[in-house]
């Protein structure tokens, strides 16, 4: 639903984007004229309806955690409001935070509550999600660098547009570093050592990427594809290593 809605509502920004990558700038299907715009809106609405049906079904199951349905309602609402008017969260300064909440907050909680409520406990899960939230925010910044010029041209005020490339680059570096620098504090707050050590596994890759950032990757169009790819890999890799640590714990 989210991807179809984003393609539909961000059509003008995607048209104005002269530097899309495989990770950003929309699917390019609508911009390329391969499908009418209405197809994307119809698919988004259809999938939203299916999602609401799933929420109702889960809410009616006796053994479902009572927080699951409200969490899914919030996730569905934020996902739609990210690009859809009148909210257009991606231009309000709240879009990145909404994505972080949904992708690295509500989605993991949803899987945890339905499939593995006895894996590590909700408190430990919350602590383990902190590094992932940092990396998700950094990933969004990495995806916004290639789109900034087109977004600015049509009034789509993402974080990178609001801050400018230089300050957004510093924020990117800070959030990637925070994902791993925060681990000792998270251990002190109750995150098991096994999970923290597992989460630290991709730290050398993160350090390498930060050195590349200081070398100017965020401001060099020819490096934006690589920047986005490694931002995705850091998030996915850290999530996988944390899960391994949880299973071992």
Mean pLDDT by 10 residues, the chain (249 residues): 96 93 92 96 98 93 88 96 95 94 96 88 95 98 94 94 94 96 97 96 95 87 92 96 89
The pLDDT value recorded for residue 204 is 96
DSSP 8-class letter at 82: T
CA distances from 137 to 39, 56, 245 (A): 30, 30, 23
Domain boundaries, given as residue ranges, for the chain? 2-248
């Amino acid at each position: 639903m989210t991807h179809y809605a984003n393609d539909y509502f961000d059509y003008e920004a995607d048209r104005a984007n002269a530097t899309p990558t495989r990770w950003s700038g929309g699917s390019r299907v609508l911009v390329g004229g391969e499908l009418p715009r209405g197809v994307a809106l119809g698919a988004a609405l259809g999938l939203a309806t299916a999602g609401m049906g799933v929420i109702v079904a889960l809410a009616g199951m006796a053994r479902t955690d009572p927080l699951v349905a409200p969490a899914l309602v919030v996730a569905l609402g934020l996902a739609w409001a990210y690009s859809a008017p009148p909210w257009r969260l991606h231009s309000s300064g709240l879009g990145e935070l909404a994505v972080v909440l949904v992708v690295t907050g509500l989605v993991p909680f949803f899987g945890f509550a339905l499939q593995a409520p006895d894996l590590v406990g909700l408190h430990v899960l919350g602590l383990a999600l902190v590094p992932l939230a940092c990396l998700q925010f950094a990933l969004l910044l990495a995806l916004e660098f290639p789109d900034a010029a087109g977004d600015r041209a049509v009034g789509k005020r993402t974080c990178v547009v609001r801050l400018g490339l230089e300050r957004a680059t510093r924020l990117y570096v800070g959030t990637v570093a925070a994902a791993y620098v925060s681990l000792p504090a998270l251990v002190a707050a109750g995150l098991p050592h096994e999970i923290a050590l597992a989460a630290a596994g991709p730290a050398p890759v993160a350090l390498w990427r930060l050195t590349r950032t200081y070398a100017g990757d965020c401001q060099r169009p020819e490096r934006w594809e690589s920047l986005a790819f490694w931002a995705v890999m850091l998030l996915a890799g850290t999530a996988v290593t944390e899960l391994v640590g949880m299973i071992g714990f």
